[in-house]
Each structure stands twice: as structure tokens, then as C-alpha cells.
Amino acid sequence: MPEFIRAFIAAPLPPEIKIAMGRIQRKLAGVEADIKWVKPELMHITLKFLGSVPSAQIRAIFDSLNGRLAAHPVIKLSTGPQGAFPSRKRPRILWVGLQPNGLTPLRGLQRLVEESVAELGFPAEERKFNPHLTLGQLRSPLRIERLIKEFYALRVPAMEFKVNEVQIMRSELSREGPAYTRLHSIVLRD
């Protein structure tokens, strides 16, 4: 029986962005809302969630991505304003967005990722690509109004960074939260 891996494709974040996101989380933690914070070291920009994949197919995914992405130029991005999914009035996920200046190339990169894995039989994502950095997921309405008020009052710094690689990641779920392992990297052209 084949081994399966829960996998996704992501653009990693540099340490300084993860540190800044951790600072935002610590500012909001004092509200003591019922929220599960994403560990800053696990933050990334998800380009494609693959789900459960036969481990033997991971190499084919890498080969397909590498063939399309190795010549793609590095993308310059900047953190932007914060938001909530599905909306500010009914928040479930708190996130920090990205400034529009780098979104066109990032959307192009994501399309190439979609095309690469579609060749291998992975269905296209039906939702519009909305790149963001997830800070946390609300679990109940406890102190939610105060949390949202403080969240939107924050000044999220515009920090520039580069996406210089795309990674195929393994995700293992446990009671302590997810653990991610990089399986392959595709370095973008500088």
C-alpha cells in the first residue's frame, strides 16, 4: 500500500517577517480572546494545498514545478494592511495582507504552480487566490469585539521582503499543532 503525505506548496517568509508577525500576535494576546495563534516559525504564503499525496508522486510534482519555475524571477513583496476572513463583522481568521505592488507577479507565480500540478491531475483551486499571512483562528466569540477593535487599531508596518524560492512542504498534524518539513525547494532566478 502506498504511503501518503499531506502536502502543500508555499513561498517561505524571511525570519524578520516572522518576527514582526510574532510581535503583532503578542500585542493582541493580552486581550485573552479564544484564538489559536499560528506559530510565527510556521508562517508562509500558501500557493497550493495538495492534500493527501502518494509519496511516490512528490518527485513528479517537484520536476513539474522546477521545469516551470526555475526561470521565474524573484518577487519583491511588502506587508500590508490587516484583515479578517470571512469579514470584519464575522471574523474567523485574522491575517496580514500584502501590498498591491508585488501581487501581480505573485499571482503569476501561483498560476504557474496551479498549471504545473494540474498536469499531474490535481484539481484547480476554485477560490480566488488571496495571498496573506495567517496570524490566528478564532475558536469562539469570547472577547472577540475587543480583539477586533485592537487588531484594526494596530499599525501593521510595511516591511519589504523577497520571495526567492518555492517549497514543497509536508504537513503533519498533532494535538500540539502542525509540523512542517520542507521536501523540495525550487530557487527562483535572481
Give the model confidence (pLDDT) of 12-49 as tens digits: 999 999 999 999 999 999 999 999 999 999 999 999 99
| Terminal-residue alpha carbon distance, the chain | 41
Give strand pairing partners of 160. Answer: 78
Three-state DSSP at 140 gives: coil
Residue 105: cis peptide before it, omega within 30 degrees of 0: no
pLDDT of residue 102: 86
Q: What is the pLDDT of residues 112-123, one digit of tens each?
A: 999 999 999 999
Q: How far, in Å, CA of 157 to CA of 34, rounded?
A: 25
Greater pLDDT, 127 or 44? 44
Which helix (H) or strand (E) segment holds residue 4: the answer is strand 4-12
pLDDT, averaged across the chain:
95
Q: Could you tell me the pTM of the whole model?
A: 0.93
Q: How far, in Å, CA of 40 to CA of 83, rounded?
A: 17
Q: What is the pLDDT of residues 154-168, one digit of tens each?
A: 989 899 999 999 999
pLDDT of residue 2: 66
pLDDT of residue 169: 98
| Residue 177 predicted with pLDDT over 90 | no
CB 129, CB 110: distance < 8 Å: yes
Residue ranges per structural domain of the chain: 4-187
Residue 166 amino acid letter: V
Greater pLDDT, 188 or 1? 188
* CA-based nearest residue to 136, from 23, 35, 61: 35
pLDDT of residue 96: 97
Question: How does residue 58 score in pLDDT terms, banded at 50, 70 and 90?
Answer: very high
Three-state DSSP at 119 gives: coil
Q: How far, in Å, CA of 7 to CA of 185, rounded?
A: 13
* Class in CATH terms, 4-187: alpha beta
Question: How does residue 152 score in pLDDT terms, banded at 50, 70 and 90?
Answer: very high
Three-state DSSP at 187 gives: strand
Q: Is 78 exposed, middle or buried (0-12, 13-18, 19+ CB in 10 A)?
A: middle
